[in-house]
């Protein structure tokens, strides 16, 4: 089983806990999966991937427990621009940090026994703070593995200079101050 985070309107929480969520009545989007148009719910890999709802009292974060075969990962930008073809990855094959804003598609109704309410204070640990930070951390690590540090530093200085920003660097080991 995989845990997917899904926000619901707090005013509907009691009904959802009692009856679950029927896909045909409450779906989030329609996406082509394996050549067929399917109604799907759109969930999150991490509850902090939507900080607006995470910090709002108007929404409650549900932990939904699903079989991996029911879940696919997609980059959020694909949902926004409504592409004709989607890069959809089965959740079992998804590598965390691959997408900047991953969203989990699942095309099944949510039964009450599959739902648990996220306790922000004390709950099972989440491996990373949010998906966007993990994405950028991975990209920076890939650059550090590919290029030498001096090249990365000078490229950053050039970029900041381009942005009309000045960096002052205090050289150590009795060297003079450098301004880039």
Mean pLDDT over 46-68 rounds to 92
- Residues above pLDDT 70, as percent of the chain: 84
Contact (Cβ atoms closer than 8 angstroms) between residue 99 and residue 135: yes
Is 6 exposed, middle or buried (CB count within 10 Å of its CB: 0-12, 13-18, 19+)? buried
State the pLDDT at residue 44: 94
Closest CA to 29 of 67, 79, 86: 79
Domain positions in the chain:
2-118, 147-179
Q: Rounded to whole angstroms, what are the CA distances from 100 to 3, 70, 115, 138, 140?
A: 19, 22, 26, 10, 13
pLDDT at 73: 93
Better pLDDT: 164 or 97: 97
pLDDT tens-digit series, residues 129-174: 788 888 988 888 888 899 988 888 888 888 888 776 454 544 444 4
Per-residue pLDDT of 100-140, as tens digits, reads 899 999 989 999 999 998 887 776 666 777 888 889 888 88
**Extended strands (E) in the chain:** 2-9, 29-33, 36-43, 59-66, 71-75, 89-90, 102-106, 115-117, 168-169, 178-179
């Amino acid at each position: 089983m995989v845990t997917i985070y899904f926000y619901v309107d707090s005013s509907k929480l009691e009904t959802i806990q009692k009856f679950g969520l029927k896909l045909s009545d409450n779906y989030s989007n329609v996406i082509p999966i394996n050549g067929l148009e399917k109604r799907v719910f759109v969930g999150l890999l991490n509850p902090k991937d939507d900080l607006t709802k995470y910090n709002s009292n108007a929404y409650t974060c549900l932990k939904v427990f699903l079989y991996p075969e029911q879940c696919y990962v997609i980059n959020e930008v694909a949902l926004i621009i409504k592409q004709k073809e989607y890069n959809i990855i089965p959740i079992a094959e998804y590598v965390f940090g691959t997408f900047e804003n991953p969203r989990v598609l699942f095309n099944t109704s949510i039964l009450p026994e599959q739902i648990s309410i996220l306790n922000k204070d004390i709950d099972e640990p989440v491996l990373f703070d949010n998906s966007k930070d993990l994405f950028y951390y991975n990209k920076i690590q890939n650059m550090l593995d590919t290029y030498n540090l001096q090249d990365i530093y000078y490229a950053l200085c050039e970029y900041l200079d381009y942005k009309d920003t000045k960096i002052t660097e205090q050289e150590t080991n009795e060297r003079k101050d450098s301004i880039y």
